A and B are shown apart, each in its own frame.
Chain A
């Protein structure tokens, strides 16, 4: 009795886990073997039909490929910009506190609201950006109706919104670095670039990996900007898995098929991010140790 007593205290947490993670997950798995759709609700059994359909669904796989490109590209840009701004804010600049708050504003704004603002900027007929381009004598760009510019528009919106997150994490990392290695580098006469390349960047590697991983996890769910800016268009040129799953599940009401897509999406995300995490961990290990 005494032995089991402490376990009793785990029960509330376990029940919560079952209620909000384990049950929904098991239920979703069960739903994928049914034909729950707009006109047939409930859990009948149709075997692996939805899984077979998913394998043949080229639109789904294209959206996954697009997601890889979008998430890696946006996170890479966010990292570079975030690091640059963090370095800028790290070194004593005038009104440092003011800038720190200013740079955080995009991240504190509701993503869907931000996407609406970006849409009003990119809107081709009355948008601010095309207005600006025509004022300086350039042709308006089809920001939302041509594949290339539409992807650029989404990238800009994503980078703008989430670079502050990188900035915040990396600035915290920079502020926590020990002073001694920098002093040693200064005594050795290292240039600013060498100090960055040999001291700052390597020491920031673990923090960078953490920040990149968190952002990659978040970026793998890109939805707000895509849905608001382009609805996945033109055609399917900017459609991400989240947007596609949303359409199948909640607009077409193909609950079973949408669940199948979502489950596969989850499996792939876990696998991919685990592999990336391992690769990063190996890369960040100091050599020769």
Chain B
């Protein structure tokens, strides 16, 4: 009797246990063709020759890992994605779309457009209520224009095992609007100085500089010093200069429409961001534009002078040209985004291990818009790093496929993908999470030189703590403001107007934009920027 009962019990229990064990150990594959097991190695090698030499890494344990994503079934569903042209951001978007399709069975339609079109196409979709996209990529500074069209990022993504849980505190704030996370932060940028160590750490170069200027050579602390170094070493034969390549003083973004406004902000920030003046860097309390104040004019004057020490064609460099030029060894100094840094650290770079990072130069005086006088900074130099916008993404509020859209973005930015994307220079993904700021990863896995990595990570950590920072003008119409400013700077760089006259024109245009958009609307949005500038949590 007992044996019969046991036999019956076993007959029922065994198949159940067997089935359960199969469910637990079997590779997951709900809707897609790709099956995954927990912790399985992630490799991009199957996605084209360009990924053949990319490192591999173990799948993460996060909520959107390859394994977890493979459990989802989006067969028959389609996601419409608007992203930037390949490679910057366009490359990872397309790559992760293909992987997501293989894992979930869903379809991801990716539209690649130029940076200007990213803004215009989104706006057109929202203003005409045509709801053309589920997922959009953008510059995070456009949040002022678009936040009302974006869905709130779920807590499951920003907390616990979510992809964005370990974003640094600064960037967690940057991706919020009125306390709600609206942007899916896949990147985090800041501008910093890049300098060639085969000059700055070379005895002959130091002696040369001293003989020319009577001063000791060290990475520039002010923009005046930056220009002096650029001038002194323009045409110099640097010890590690690639053969046949002329050495110039500086490589910068100078092209109108090529993100030159970012370079300009770097140069004016320390002259115009006074740590003792609260309540607005871009506008004063009455919304009077500050774009033509003496601080801005001083920065522009330096910018114009630097054009004399740029490589051939340097007066027409957009961001990609800046990256290419500094990355191949054209110049002593450069600044702005991380990309030129990554480029110069790539295995094939002729200046690998010859570049270090430092905070952006400061200024020996800073304009006080309240007293209308120049102040002498404490310690002799005013530093005001520009925490530049980075790539971000969002799920549109009107999307009929929000869950799939967030799953796609969450997969896009999962631990394994983020780690691998960081290693590819032209992906446009830069360190943004606490785990990215450990030198081990860069030194051991990326084979970057430790002194260089330490200088870079130290610079970024310095920015996290700095309390005199400049942020983008995250208000409605930001593109109009930036275009007007860029146009004025371009005129001054081309010698068509003096710095003061050009910036006066920009200020006039800014007043018109504010009037057009609505002073109340702009002022209200600007309070979010002031909160960041003045460190009001």
Seen from chain A, the residues whose Cβ lies within 8 Å of a Cβ on chain B are 35, 37-41, 53, 123-127, 130, 140, 142, 144-147, 231-237, 247, 250-254
6 pairs of A and B residues whose beta carbons are closest in the complex: A124-B313, A235-B494, A125-B313, A234-B494, A145-B315, A41-B127
- A254 in contact with B316 (CB, 8 Å): no
B491-509 CB contact bits vs A (8 Å, 1 = yes)? 1111111000000000000
Within 8 A of A (CB), among B94-139: 116, 119-120, 123, 127-128
In the complex, what residues of B have CB within 8 A of residue A142's CB? 313, 315
- Distance in angstroms between the alpha carbons of A251 and B476 in the assembled complex: 14
Contact B517 A237 (CB under 8 A): no
**Across the interface, which residues of B come within 8 angstroms of A252, CB to CB?**
479-480, 483
B238-282, CB under 8 A of A: which get 1 and which 0? 000000000000000001111000000000000000000000000
For B477, give its contact among A39, A140, A146 (CB under 8 Å): A39
Is B487 at the interface (CB under 8 A from chain A)? yes
- Report the interface size for chain B: residues with CB under 8 A from the other chain: 39
Task: Determine if A234 and B490 form an interchain contact, defined as CB atoms under 8 angstroms apart.
Answer: yes
Q: Taking A38-B480, A125-B325, A234-B493 as contacts, is the C-beta distance between A145 and B313 under 8 angstroms?
A: yes
- Name, among B127, B313, B493, B497, the residue most crowded by chain A CB atoms within 10 Å (CB to CB): B313
Q: How distant is the Cα of A277 from the Cα of B47 in the complex, in angstroms?
A: 59
Cross-chain contact A235 with B477 (CB below 8 angstroms): no
Q: Which residues of chain B from 312 to 354 have a CB within 8 Å of any chain A CB?
A: 312-316, 321, 325, 330
Q: List A contacts of B444 (CB < 8 A).
A: none
Does B311 sit at the interface, judged by CB under 8 A?
yes
With the chains together, A147 CA to B496 CA distance in Å? Answer: 9
CB of A248, distance to nearest CB on chain B (Å): 9
Residues from chain B with a CB closer than 8 A to the CB of A130 are 312
Besides A124-B313, A251-B120, A253-B479, 6 other A-B contacts (C-beta < 8 A): A39-B476, A41-B128, A142-B315, A231-B255, A236-B491, A251-B119
Quick check: A37 and B496 within 8 Å, CB to CB?
no
> Could you tell me the distance in whole angstroms from the C-beta of B437 to the nearest C-beta in chain A?
35
The CA-CA distance from A54 to B518 in the complex, in Å, is 20
A24 to chain B, nearest CB (A): 15
Contacts of B492 in A (CB 8 A): 235
Q: How far is the CB of A235 from chain B (nearest CB, A)?
A: 3
Proximity string of chain B (277-321) to chain A, C-beta cutoff 8 Å, 1 when within and 0 when not: 000000000000000000000000000000000011111100001
Number of A-B contacts (CB under 8 A): 98
- Expressed in whole angstroms, the Cα–Cα distance for A254 and B120 within the complex equals 11
Q: How far is the CB of A135 from chain B (nearest CB, A)?
A: 13
Supply 6 A–B pairs (Cβ within 8 Å), ascending by A: A35-B516, A39-B518, A41-B127, A235-B493, A252-B480, A253-B479
Shortest C-beta distance, A188 to chain B (Å), equals: 57
A251 / chain B contacts, CB cutoff of 8 Å: 116, 119-120, 479, 483
Judge whether B123 and A236 touch: CB under 8 Å.
no
Q: For the complex, is B521 an interface residue (Cβ under 8 Å from A)?
A: yes
Q: In the complex, what distance in Å separates the CA atom of A232 from the CA atom of B120? A: 19
Task: Indicate which residue in A35, A38, A123, A237 contacts B496 across the interface (CB closer than 8 Å).
Answer: A237
CB pair B256–A233 under 8 Å, yes or no, is yes
A127 to B313, CA, bound (A): 9
Q: Which residue of B lies closest to A145 (CB)?
A: B315
Residue on B with the closest CB to A37? B516
Question: Is the pair A236, B517 in contact by a Cβ cutoff of 8 Å?
Answer: no
> Given the complex, which residues of B lie within 8 Å of A41, measured CB to CB?
127-128
Say whether B145 faces chain A, with CB atoms less than 8 Å apart: yes
CA distance A247 to B483 in the complex (A): 9
Q: Which residues of B contact A236 (CB under 8 A)?
A: 487, 490-491, 496
User: How far does the alpha carbon of A199 sit from the alpha carbon of B32 in the complex, in Å?
Assistant: 77
Whether A233 pairs with B494 at a CB distance below 8 angstroms is yes
**Distance between A252 CB and nearest chain B CB, rounded to angstroms:** 5
Chain B hits for A124, CB < 8 A: 312-313, 316
Which residues from chain B contact A38 at a C-beta distance below 8 Å?
123, 145, 476-477, 479-480, 517
Report the Cα distance A144→B255, complex, angstroms. Answer: 10
B321 / chain A contacts, CB cutoff of 8 Å:
125
CB neighbours of A40 from chain B (8 A): 516-518
